[in-house]
Amino acid sequence: MKQFHTYKNAFTLILLLATPAYLSAQKKYQENWASIDSRPVPAWFTDAKFGIFIHWGLYSVPAWAPTDKSLPTGAKYSEWYWNQLVNDTTSVGKAFRNFHNSVYGEKFKYPDFVDKFKAELFNPKDWAELFKASGAKYVVLTSKHHEGFTLWPSEHSWNWNSEDVGPHRDLVGELGKAVKNTGLKMGYYYSLYEWFNPLYRSNINRYVDEHMIPQMKDLVIKYRPDILWTDGEWEHPSETWKSTKFLSWLYNDSPVRNQVVVNDRWGKDTRGKHGGFYTTEYDEKKASAETYSRHPWEECRGVGSSFGYNRAENLADYYTSEQLIHLLIEKVGSGGNLLLDIGPRADGTIPVIMQQRLTDIGSWLGVNGEAIYNTEVWKQKESVQRPGIYFTKNKTDGFVLCTRLPSNDIVINDLVGLPVLSIPGADDEITHSYKNGVLTINADALKLHSDNTLVIKLKGVIK
């Protein structure tokens, strides 16, 4: 009996000594960038190609920013209203203050907008149906912008969230449920920093430990996002934000560890280097072509010049439907995704012009979607030499996408066997010749098929 206890105690000791190493071995992704970056971006994201971005918050009440085309892109962002109102000493800041004082008065402070953010006409099912009709495969909602106001009942933003005040609704939860019911992926934008949070301004370490990370975990656990789209990272390095610590939890232990996708905005040292997919914004932060050719990426921009709704924008400030379709072709044809932003009004309605743009894109994708979804770049020498011509492919077929009709013949090399050419949604024949693996599509004949945008399918050319 004494010998048994000796063996038992020895075995227990071995287990106790081994447990920490054993548990550590189960953490596939460690708290460092080399490990975090080794996780592949889930394939659903690179297959999806097109998503809808939504900027909605208290800034949707004043809904104003200057529209002068000579201004830098960021100066025209209405969602920066509070910061511009208080901090900007330039002519742009003066323009915000002049507008605010003339409309609301000097005594009216930005937090007072919460009483006007009612979302009384918000119908999440209508939104979700519109996004489905647009042809988008995923949606990203601003759960919290830099103002710190959350669109869900966050205990870390007491009395500064959409359930405690304003609409008195869980906007994140309502929209997420409706979007997922349509079969689309649902993601959430989250700002790491908050302009005027006293804890952020006085003690960044406590802010990260006691506010930011617990709040992000709450968002993930409650709403199970397919995408966590962070922003507001630029004031501190990722080490200060404890980004790898959070991402290790997200990838190892969170309820969305297998399917969640993240971006690259995790610290002033991370864009285009670390995280998940790389991001560009109105093309201002575009990485090198070499970087983009070997890593998933996404371009985000608004239907107009602002992410949040801007009442000052006129028709000329919006992209046309054709321009947006060309933008989608350009990004997908260059290997990326397009996250196209809309800005709803404070009452929860989506401006009709934005609805029209989205449904137009959806109509085009309904015909030409197989040249976009589940594709990758089909490398052709001509794609570099001929602006406005892009090549994509899926497992069996190749596609030529033109955002301008070519002045010279399109030549495609190294084909195996004569392809079957067609224009999706049309019965037109395409004048072409084929010899020794080289396909030549007659440029003059293409002008008979389209005024501008054109997709040509080459069936059975991918072996």
Q: What is the H or E stretch that residue 319 is in? A: none
Q: What is the pLDDT of residue 291?
A: 58
Q: What is the pLDDT of residue 383?
A: 54
pLDDT band for position 136 (50/70/90)?
A: very high
Q: What is the pLDDT of residue 88?
A: 74
Across 147-154, average pLDDT? 98
Residue with more model confidence, 56 or 292? 56
Q: What is the pLDDT of residue 2?
A: 45
How many residues are recorded in the chain?
A: 463
Has residue 109 got a pLDDT over 80? yes
Q: Fold for domain 378-459? A: Immunoglobulin-like (2.60.40)
This prediction has a pTM of 0.92
pLDDT band for position 10 (50/70/90)?
A: very low
Residue spans of the domains in the chain: they are: 43-371, 378-459
Q: Give per-residue pLDDT as tens, 345-394.
A: 999 999 999 999 999 999 999 999 999 999 999 987 655 557 889 999 99
pLDDT band for position 16 (50/70/90)?
A: very low
Has residue 176 got a pLDDT over 80? yes
Q: What is the H or E stretch that residue 315 is in? A: none
Q: What is the H or E stretch that residue 457 is in? A: strand 454-459
pLDDT band for position 263 (50/70/90)?
A: very high
Q: Give per-residue pLDDT as tens, 209-220.
A: 999 999 999 999
Phi, psi of 441 (to 5 degrees): -100, 125
Has residue 419 got a pLDDT over 70? yes
Round to whole Å and give the CA distance between 406 and 416: 24
Across 241-258, average pLDDT? 98
Round to whole Å and give the CA distance between 377 and 333: 6
Rounded to 10°, the helix 171-181/124-133 angle is 40
Q: What is the pLDDT of residue 23?
A: 41
Domain 43-371 in this protein, CATH class: alpha beta
Contact predicate 340/303, CB 8 Å? yes
Per-residue DSSP letters for 10-60? HHHHHHHHHHHHHHHHH-SS-SSHHHHTTSPPPHHHHHH-EEEEE--SGGG
Contact predicate 370/394, CB 8 Å? yes
Q: Who's near 369: CB < 8 A, 6+ residues apart?
A: 135
Residue with more model confidence, 20 or 246? 246
- Tokens representing 135 are 């042809």
CA 382 to chain centre: 29
Average pLDDT along the chain: 91
Which residues, listed in sequence order, are joined to residue 190 by a DSSP beta bridge?
A: 144, 230
Q: What is the pLDDT of residue 145?
A: 98
User: Of 295-304, 309-318, 424-433, where does mean pLDDT reach its minimum?
Assistant: 424-433
Q: What is the pLDDT of residue 19?
A: 41
Residue type, 309: Y
- Tokens representing 177 are 């449920």
